[in-house]
Structure 1
Amino acid sequence: MADLDHSSSTETTLNSEDNNINCESKLRFSEDEETLIVIMFNLVGERWSLIAGRIPGRTAEEIEKYWNSRYSTSE
């Protein structure tokens, strides 16, 4: 029984690492996506769901997070 507990905790750790890798790769945007985000932002502003509607496979949250990490100004 102890072996089962050990393997499940190892499995949980591996799943967490996989999730982190998936999040990182999801937040990588291609040049075309970046260009489209900038163009759309200039047209519609912070309407992330409208922008996400133009980029298949992307959510509004991903685009907003990308925008804030890339273009946010901290003054």
Structure 2
Amino acid sequence: MADSDHSSHDATTSVDSRGDNNNSQDPKLLDFSEDEETLIARMYTLVGQRWSLIAGRIPGRTAEEIEKYWTSRCSEWRMNRET
């Protein structure tokens, strides 16, 4: 019986930790330095949507973070610039 209590606690803990991880990524997504923004734009010009290659040039960033940044900030900027 103690084992079943323990396993349900582990399931709850893993759900909570996944939720915490998602929340901690949102502020980081918005906090790109000016140097990172410039590098992302330059790398995108050179290699396109090869997010993992771009992320490899920016320590501490994942390909998913780079892609989210690009699609949320830069795509919006490009649309405004074209109009």
TM tier, smaller:
0.5 to 0.7
Q: Which runs of 4+ in 1 moved over 3 A?
A: 14-19
Deviation of the 1:25 alpha carbon? 2.4
Distance 2:51 2:37 in 1: 13
CA RMSD of aligned residues (A): 2.3
Distance 1:60 1:38 in 2: 14
Number of residue pairs the alignment of both structures matches = 62
Q: Structure 1 length as normaliser, TM-score?
A: 0.68
Higher helix share: 2
One-letter code aligned to 2:33:
S
Q: Structure 2 length as normaliser, TM-score?
A: 0.62
Residues 47 and 17 of structure 1, relative CA distance in 2, 3 Å threshold: closer
Unmatched runs of 5 consecutive residues or more in structure 2: 1-12
Q: Is 1:43 aligned to 2:59, yes or no?
A: no
Q: Tell me what 1:4 maps to.
A: none
